[in-house]
Structure 1
Amino acid sequence: MALGILEQVGLAATLIFALPVAVYGVQTILDGSTLFGAVAVLIAVLMVVLPRRLTSPDDVPAKAAETAVDAVVDTPDGSDGRDDR
């Protein structure tokens, strides 16, 4: 799944905040506090994964428009939309 430019920038911004939390979690695990470190690593993973999986209110109109276009426009399989005349 290819990411667009804005999605890549958003992922980079998320990683700026998630990576220090993950590093802190790993250091905490190595220092002996396994539970707290695992929770920190889990939070870092969720910071990256959840925005990709959840639908935000901004995504609803785009998904509705995509569904409407798919319902109206019927493209035959194997066709790329060009006329071969």
Structure 2
Amino acid sequence: MRLGILETVGLAATLIFAIPVGLYGIETFLSGNRLLGGGLVIVAVLMVVLPRRLTTPADLPGAVLERVVGRAVKEPDEDDEDRDAQ
């Protein structure tokens, strides 16, 4: 699945926070505190997965913007690329 520019930036921002939580969860899990470590890993995974799956009212302006940009900027057709190569 392709991500738009805004979705890619949003995913990068989420990963900035989710990766340290996940790493701390793994370290905690391996040091013997299985419940806390496993819980932190689950939280890190949910930080990445839930925003991609849930649509909130705050997401609607971004979705509209993605559609407008997608309609305004079209990818070239394969026929156009073939003509340019000749």
Tell whether the structures are fold-level matches, with TM greater than 0.5. Answer: yes
Deviation sequence 1:46-85 (CA, Å, 0-9, x none) = 000000001110345758xx9xxxxxxxxxxxxxxxxxxx
Please, which runs of 5 or more residues in structure 2 have no aligned partner? 68-86
* CA RMSD in angstroms, aligned pairs only: 1.8
Structure 1: how far apart are the matches of 2:11 and 2:24? 20
For 1:58, the equivalent position in structure 2 comes to: 58
Higher relative contact order (CA 8 A, sep 6+): 2
Q: Give unmatched runs, 5+ long, in structure 1.
A: 67-85
Q: Which structure has the larger Rg over C-alpha atoms? A: 1
Which TM-score applies when normalising by structure 2?
A: 0.68
Q: Aligned residues: percent identity? A: 66
Structure with a larger share of its residues in helix: 2
Write out aligned runs for 1:1-85 (5 A): 1-60=1-60
Rounded Cα–Cα distance in structure 1 between residues aligned with 2:48 and 2:55: 14
- Paired with 2:47 and 2:31, the residues of 1 have a C-alpha distance of 23
One-letter identity of the residue aligned with 1:30: L
- Number of equivalences: 64
TM-score norm. by structure 1 comes to 0.68
